[in-house]
Amino acid sequence: MAEGEQIPDWVTELRDQQQGQGEELPIAEGLWEQMGQADMVEEPQEQVGEADVLEDLREQMAQVEEDFEHAERPPLVRTFSNLEPWQRFVLAVLLFLNVALCGCMALAMAGRVMPPF
């Protein structure tokens, strides 16, 4: 830092708070319930490293992914997801022709369009 610049008070307070909380380790939500207090082994802060934090995050993400894997899809989605791509294309074309034909018939019956014959 350049001379004449002082560190703001709030920054020094934050530093003091972090240094004072050295004995407490942050625990992610839900992890405390999964682990009992008896299972907690206090380790010195020097031994708890970035690898441990990343390992905890990986375990949490694996649990979340397992929850999503068991979610069932609606019956209509299951029906169409089992079809081959060309079969889905044929169904899409038939649906388009059906909508176009119904629209033309509705216009003709309403008198908005007159057939040429």
User: Residue with structure tokens 């405390």?
Assistant: 32
- Which amino acid appears at position 1 of this protein? M
Arithmetic mean of pLDDT over the chain: 76
Identity of the amino acid at 68: F
Write down the pLDDT at residue 28.
Answer: 52
Across residues 56-76, what is the average pLDDT? Answer: 75
Range with lowest mean pLDDT among 33-37, 51-55, 62-66 = 33-37
Could you tell me the pLDDT band of residue 34, with boundaries at 50, 70 and 90?
Answer: low
Distance, in Å, from the CA atom of 67 to the CA atom of 60, rounded to the nearest integer, reads 11
